[in-house]
Amino acid sequence: MKSEKILITGALGQLGTVLTNELQKKYGINSVIATDLRPNFDFNGVFETLDVTNFKAIEECVIKHNVTQIYHLAAILSANGEKNPLKTWDINMSTLFNVLEVSRLCNINKIFYPSSIAVFGDEIESVNTPQSPNLTPLTVYGMSKVAGENWVNYYHKRYGLDIRSLRYPGVIGYQSLPGGGTTDYAVDIYHKAVNNEDFECFLKASTMLPMIFIDDAIRATLELMDAPRKIISIRTSYNLAGMSFTPNELYNSIRKTYPDFKISYNPDFRQEIADSWPKSIDDNTARKDWGWKPNYDLDSMTNIMIQKLKAQYHSVVA
């Protein structure tokens, strides 16, 4: 069997940091080529600085390392994306086109493309949002993910590329910081709590959104990528659910450990984005096709987040 060589784009981001580590454990440290626009001089493993808007650079990297699989994570997220919509569209689409074309030309055998709950807009049932409603996103980021899902489906149907995709909910983890999304508050709040600081939330107390703990998000990714090709029935992107909660519910979960923790609410432009997204997701197709089941709920995630962040911030150096 051909041994796998895995290229990750956007590997220094919130998901990439953790996914790189898991792929290194699974395939071996020298089988994973982590890449990002930003350099990293103390990376533990194989790292290349790579701008995915540069077709030639990706092609050279793929050939140089005999890459067989690509996880294409590089993107501009929802809130940052609204600062410069045309640039966001250009980056999100050109990076995907480059990855798709290099994959086709270099016979890459599996590709992962992350989509998002941002594909949904104001024409959905917001509770238990189904797999295939009308997709009318409010943000340029969401528009780029809808278009991306369709391009991924097109390359699968037209060229037979084995591209798999998940619509991640907001991802919450302790290992890395989020990169400019609408769900970032749900990570930032833990950092404040653990440092005994007050938290100002940019969403209203009652804004329910779908979220997922990083361990579940990474496990879902690896389970989808390991599933036999013939059982993948969705070639746009699978709905994926972890849990759903409001800022007030998250605050109350944290107060079980930090009873004096204080929160205030000062909604900004991200409120309108959050209001256009689902409150909860129907992920039955992922459950049926490849056996998806999340392990974490709000309180079990809160316990781990607090325990890990306390260790990071307050570990005593001997």
Quick one: which of 182, 207, 280, 302 contacts ligand SER (CB under 6 A)?
182
| Cα dihedral: 56, 57, 59, 63 (round 10) | 130
Contact 278, 117 (CB under 8 A): yes
Q: For the purposes of burial, counting CB atoms within 10 Å of the CB of 226, is it exposed (0-12), middle (13-18) or buried (19 or more)?
A: exposed
Closest CA to 100 of 47, 59, 51: 59
Please tell me whether residue 88 binds ligand SER under the rule CB under 6 A: no
Identity of the residue, 52 or 67, whose beta carbon is nearer to ligand NAD in the bound complex: 52
Residue 67 within binding range of ligand NAD, rule CB under 6 A: no
Q: Which does 161 bind (CB under 5 to 8 A by kind): ligand SER, ligand NAD, none?
A: none
Rule CB under 6 A: is residue 16 a binding residue for ligand NAD?
yes
Does residue 99 belong to the site contacting ligand NAD (CB under 6 A)?
Answer: no
Work out which of 98, 116, 236, 253 binds ligand SER, going by CB under 6 A.
116
For the chain, where are the alpha helices, taking DSSP H only?
A: 14-27, 55-64, 78-81, 85-105, 140-159, 185-194, 214-226, 247-255, 270-275, 284-290, 298-314
Tell me if 9 contacts ligand NAD by CB under 6 A.
Answer: yes
The one among 75, 79, 140, 243 contacting ligand NAD by CB under 6 A: 75
Which one is catalytic: 27, 71, 113, 141? 141
Judged by DSSP in three states, 9 sits in strand
141 catalytic, yes or no?
A: yes
What x-and-dash track marks residues 24-63 binding ligand NAD by CB under 6 A? ------------xxx-----------xxxx----------
Report the residue number, 166 or 194, with the smaller CB distance to ligand NAD.
166
Residues that bind ligand SER (CB under 6 A): 77-78, 116-118, 170, 181-183
